[in-house]
Amino acid sequence: MENTNRSYEKEHIVGEDIITIDNVKQYAAMFQPNLIITNDIASFLIESLSEYLDNLISLSVKMTKHRKGLYVQKKDVVEGLKKRSTLVVLDDISDDWY
Range 81-84 contact pairs with CB under 8 angstroms and sequence separation of 24 or more = 81/56, 83/59, 84/55, 84/56, 84/59
Residue pLDDT, tens place only, 41-94: 999 999 988 888 888 899 999 999 999 999 999 999 888 888 877 766 666 556
Phi and psi for 29 in degrees, rounded to 5?
-65, -25
Q: How crowded is residue 57: how many other Cβ atoms within 10 Å of its Cβ? A: 15
pLDDT at 81: 86
Mean pLDDT of 7-21: 62
Residue 64 neighbours by CB under 8 Å, 6+ apart: 70, 71, 72, 73, 76
Comparison of pLDDT for 32 and 14, the residue scoring more:
32
CATH label, 21-84, candidates 1.10.20.10, 3.30.43.10, 3.40.50.720, 1.10.10.10:
1.10.20.10
Phi and psi for 28 in degrees, rounded to 5?
-65, -35
pLDDT at 7: 44
80: exposed, middle or buried (C-beta count within 10 Å: 0-12, 13-18, 19+)? buried
pLDDT at 3: 47
